[in-house]
Amino acid sequence: MPRRTLPRLPQLLTRKLYKSGQTRGADDDEIYQNRVLRSSTVLISYPVWKGHFTQTEAEQKFENGYIVLISPSDYFDHLHNTDELARNGLALGQNALVFYETRADWIANNPATLHWQPAESRLRPLRGQYVARVSATTAAKKSKKINYGFTTKSDKGAGIRVYEYANETTIDECRCQLEALFWLCDDSCTIATANGMTAANAALRRTEVLRICEDRGLLDRNRLAVARMLNERGRTICPLCLRELLSQGFFSRMKQAEGREVLDLTITQINLFHIEELRIGLFNHRPYNLGWGHHHCNVVVKDAGIRQTLVWMSEVLQRNIEERHFSPANNEN
């Protein structure tokens, strides 16, 4: 974001922009950290490591390191008596850990019998050889959950999903571009004023942020249009339905179904929207790929991506027309 002092944004919008640089949530019993910066230590499964990374590339890319997670079956059946780990730039307890996820693996190769310790550090040395996240079951006695490594309140989770990663420069660029997209909504100054800014401060911040983004190469309107973020009027649109976004949607909570209300609902009508979906092998949390979209449209796309979602929607619509459940000419039928 801009380094010079600018008038403050409304608090809710500031929070939305900050959260754009954080990972998605994770439950307490997951191996992943919950809502931390995307520049944090990444977790990479061993098969993904072999298919996509080298030690040199990983050390250059990940600002806060990485940990390769090896399944017990891979380690004990294939790796522990060979030099394959070393050939792949890995060493147990340095940048790799054995990750227990099933009770059968825990029983077959209990780390206590190997005199192993659960890892405690996200940076090398990891001060341990394994982590464990085995769910509790009701099918057998002594089936309590098994959680070892990175379990304390202040140090919960070993790292983040590798495809969510973005370095700090990229996070900053995304936040700057996302704010510019807010200001390119048709009614942005009016809504910012209605949510606590003065008209003069809203106009000043809008002008300065757009200028800063232009200077940083983050306001190529043709590129934003191709990426489904702006329309031909230069206004911000939802990447799926292509309707212009109304700025009030950044501040308005989602409507809830009668009888199913949640008191602490924090979801707004407009949310972050990845144009090309996040997936392993690509780092798609980046400028010109992260915009704003309607919550409902975002839910429809999920992890499938816009193009695949449009293909599916077209097929669904065509079947409904063919079976005479829907008529485009009369959408009330």
Q: Is the dihedral of CA 303, 182, 235, 193 positive or negative?
A: positive
- pLDDT number for residue 50: 93
Contacts of 87 (CB under 8 A, 6+ apart): none
Q: Which amino acid is at 266?
A: T
Residue 154 CA to residue 235 CA, distance in Å, equals: 43
Structure tokens at 244: 């212009």
Question: What is the distance between the alpha carbons of residues 68 and 144, in angstroms, rounded to a whole number?
Answer: 26
Give Cα 67 distance to the centre of its chain.
18
Q: What is the per-residue pLDDT for 257?
A: 42
Instruction: Round to whole Å and give the CA distance between 214 and 159.
Output: 34
What does the pLDDT read at residue 265?
47
Q: Which residues pair with 24 in a beta bridge?
A: none
Tens of pLDDT, residue by residue, the chain (333 residues): 545 689 999 999 999 999 999 998 888 789 999 999 999 999 999 999 999 999 999 999 999 999 999 999 999 998 888 899 999 999 999 999 999 999 999 999 999 999 999 999 999 999 999 999 999 876 655 688 999 999 988 789 999 999 999 999 999 999 999 999 999 999 999 999 999 999 999 999 999 999 999 999 999 999 999 999 999 999 999 999 999 999 999 998 745 444 444 444 457 899 999 999 998 888 999 999 999 999 999 999 988 899 999 999 999 999 999 999 998 877 654
- Residue 333 pLDDT: 47
Query: Can you give the pLDDT at residue 261?
Result: 43
- Spatial distance between the Cα atoms of 256 and 276, rounded to a whole number of angstroms: 29
Tokens of 154: 């202040």
Structure tokens at 253: 């909570």
Torsion of CA 301, 306, 307, 311, to 10 degrees: 30
Q: How far apart are the C-alpha atoms of 22 and 81, rounded to whole Å?
A: 39
- Residue 226: the pLDDT is 97
The pLDDT of residue 260: 42
**What Cα–Cα distance (Å) separates residue 41 from each residue in 75, 94, 196, 299?**
22, 13, 37, 28
Structure tokens at 73: 């079956």
> From CA 135, how far away is CA 102, in angstroms rounded?
8
Q: Rounded CA gap, 213 and 282, in Å?
A: 24
> Which pLDDT belongs to residue 143?
80
Sign of the CA dihedral with 231 first, then 188, 172, and 293 last: negative
**Cβ partners under 8 Å of residue 73, min gap 6:** 105
Beta-strand runs (E) in 95-168: 96-100, 130-134, 146-148, 160-161
From residue 30, how far is each of 116, 146, 149 by CA, in Å? 21, 11, 11
The number of C-alpha atoms within 13 Å of 148 and in the hemisphere containing its C-beta is: 21
Report CA-CA distances (Å) from 265 to 18, 28, 252, 254, 256. 19, 20, 11, 8, 9
Phi, psi of 207 (to 5 degrees): -60, -45
Residues 202 and 9: their CA atoms lie apart, in Å, by 8
